Amino acid sequence: MTDEQLLAIPGEKLPKTRGEHSRNTAFISQSGAFMITRLSRRPEFDLAYMVSIGNQNDLTPGDFLTYFKDEEGIEVIGVYAEGFKDLDGLDFVRALRGAVMAGRDVIFYKAGRTPEGKSATSGHTASVAGDYMVCESCVRQAGALSPRPLDSLKT
């Protein structure tokens, strides 16, 4: 079965190269569309793992951070979050700190910075976007790299 058949994603949206180089990055995203868009715009990304968690009925971003911090060969963990359920934000920050302390670089992007963004995330995953600045401050203090404008993820 090809990647295209397995993921039900058009081949032109998937990364073009699968080299022999080390694949040391995991990407956790609450939006499968966001994840695929990033990959189609940055074909040099060659991820070891891509996890779309949607509305987190079972596992949360913190659960995946905890897993990937111990996964051999993973050096970078990217996270796209639209919001957190009650107390999941605290668990996420603890897991993020654990990943950083384990030597992983964590790149975190939080949606919902603007009123329009908050509205979009609420309609997409039905999550509560929460206060952007509080989230941003917490993840930075825990050691994550957090690009401010989404444009920095486009090019």
Question: pLDDT tens digits, residue range 94-122?
Answer: 999 999 999 999 999 988 665 555 555 55
Domain ranges of the chain: 21-153
Beta bridge partner(s), residue 27: 50, 78
Helix (H) or strand (E) holding 53: none
pTM across the whole model:
0.75
**CA 31, CA 52: separation in Å to the nearest integer?**
6
21-153: CATH number: 3.40.50.261
Strand order in the sheet with 105-110: 49-52, 25-29, 76-81, 105-110
pLDDT at 124: 44
